[in-house]
Structure 1
Amino acid sequence: MEYIAACDTDVGITKKINQDSVCIKTAKTNTGRAALILVCDGMGGLSRGELASAEVVRSFAEWFDRELPFELPEWDWHTAAHNVISRLRRLNAKLVAYGRRECLQLGTTATGIIAVDSQFMTFHVGDTRIYKVSDKLSQLTDDHTFVNREVKLGNMTPEEARTDPLRNALVQCIGVTDDVFPEVKLGDLENGVNYMICSDGFRHVLTEKELFEELSPKKLTTKADMQKQLRQLIDTVKDRDETDNITAALFRPEL
């Protein structure tokens, strides 16, 4: 079994600071393969969003390096899901407390994949998305946004949601409110499928057809392919005048 992964990030064409943070870690241990792929989008309208996103990435990266090796021999996915939710809630409480103490507003999305051998878990707070690219494009996460909630309640159509002034307003993120309810899902990895995590700045001006065609697992089979294509898509996004930071990561299991 092999894991192939790549990522890229860009400050974009208007902002002075890149508030996105991204992390890719893979390891081969005595008990098998493991991987962490994480994208955090610091809140552009809040001060110190880059601090919030970096803190979440730092916490999960340290867990992968220092704690995961001792957890793998007795790995249990339900325990792992409980631990991820607890970590996100602790990070939320820490950032909320820091913001109140320093009179700052800071927040971040947190969306990632943890893979161990042939299985994986997604964890998600906010509107950063995970897609599976196989013979079709499938969105694996549910946007924690005001408009998505209204669409589900039947108060708004998907067409109205795309142009609503509050389309970027989050109802959940890390570091803003006292309560956070992470979305966690378990699944089996599919051989030769590309999994993609991206901030909203990456996907805003790209169609689903473009995402499917440009990130096709038949087209991207190596890390070099992935890296080159992510940069080309980021350049396309910038050419289309996207004003946000732009970040994406690709993960491909070869079972």
Structure 2
Amino acid sequence: MKYIAACDTDAGISKYNNQDSVCVKTADTGSGRAALVMVCDGMGGLSRGELASAEVVRSFSEWFDRELPFELPDWDWETAARNVISRLRRLNAMMVDYGMREHLQLGTTATGIIAVDSKFMTFHVGDTRIYKISDKLSQLTDDHTFVNREVKNGRMTPEEAKTDPRRNALVQCVGVTADIFPEVKLGDLENGANYMICSDGFRHVLTEKELFEELSPQTVSSKKDMQKKLRQLIDTVKTREENDNITAAMFRAEF
């Protein structure tokens, strides 16, 4: 089995700071292969979005380096899912407490994939998305946004949601409210499929047709391919005058 992963990020055309944070790690251990791929989009409307996103990535990165090797021999996905939810809730409580003490507000999305051998888990808070790209493009996460909630409840059409001024308003993120309810899903990796995680700045001005055609397994199959294509798409997004930070990461398993 082989894991392939890559990422790229850009502040974009109008923002001084890049409040996105990204992490891509793979490891080959005596207990099997493992990977962590995640993107956190710090909330630009708050005062410390870059601090929030970096703190979540740092926490998961340290877990992967320091704790995962000892967990792998007795790895259990249900336990892992509970631990991820607990970690995200602890980070949320810590940031809320910090914000209250420092009289500021900070928040971030938190979305990622943890893979061990041929299985994986997604974890998700906010509107950063995970796509699976094989013979079609499939969105694996559910946007935690006001407009998505209104569409699901029948109070807004998908067409109205695309242009509604509240389309970027989150109903869940890490660091703002007293509690969060992370979305966690378990699954089997598809051999040769590409998995892509991206902030909303990456996808806003790209169509699903473009994402599928540019990132399909037939087009992108190596780390070099991933790096080249992600940079090309980021440059495309910038030429289309997207104002947000732009981040994407890709992951692929071959077995």
How would you bin the TM-score normalised by the shorter chain?
Answer: over 0.9
Render the CA deviation track for 1:59-112: whole Å, top value 9, x for unaligned. Answer: 000000000000000000000000000000000000000111111110000000
Render the CA deviation track for 1:26-69: whole Å, top value 9, x for unaligned. Answer: 00000110000010000011011000000000000000000000
Aligned amino acid, residue 130 of structure 1: I
Question: 1:229 matched to which residue of 2?
Answer: 229
Question: 2:109 matched to which residue of 1?
Answer: 109
The TM-score normalised by the length of structure 2 is 1.00
User: Which runs of structure 2 are paired with 1:185-224 in the superposition (5 Å)?
Assistant: 185-224=185-224
Render the CA deviation track for 1:202-237: whole Å, top value 9, x for unaligned. Answer: 000000000000001011111001000000000000
For 1:162, what is the secondary structure of its paired residue? helix
Cα distance between partner residues in 1 of 2:95 and 2:225: 37
Structure 2: tracts of 5 or more residues without a match: none
Identity %: 83
User: Which runs of structure 2 are paired with 1:51-200 in the superposition (5 Å)?
Assistant: 51-200=51-200
Cα distance between partner residues in 1 of 2:151 and 2:20: 27
Instruction: Tell me whether 1:34 sits opposite 2:34 in the alignment.
Output: yes
Question: 1:15 matched to which residue of 2?
Answer: 15
Cα distance between partner residues in 2 of 1:174 and 1:220: 32
Cα distance between partner residues in 2 of 1:168 and 1:99: 22
Aligned amino acid, residue 79 of structure 1: T
Aligned amino acid, residue 47 of structure 2: S
Cα distance between partner residues in 1 of 2:105 and 2:245: 19
Cα distance between partner residues in 1 of 2:48 and 2:16: 12
Structure 1: tracts of 5 or more residues without a match: none
Instruction: Tell me the number of residue pairs that the alignment of Structure 1 and Structure 2 aligns.
Output: 255
The TM-score normalised by the length of structure 1 is 1.00
Aligned amino acid, residue 67 of structure 1: E
Aligned amino acid, residue 16 of structure 1: Y
Cα distance between partner residues in 2 of 1:225 and 1:215: 9
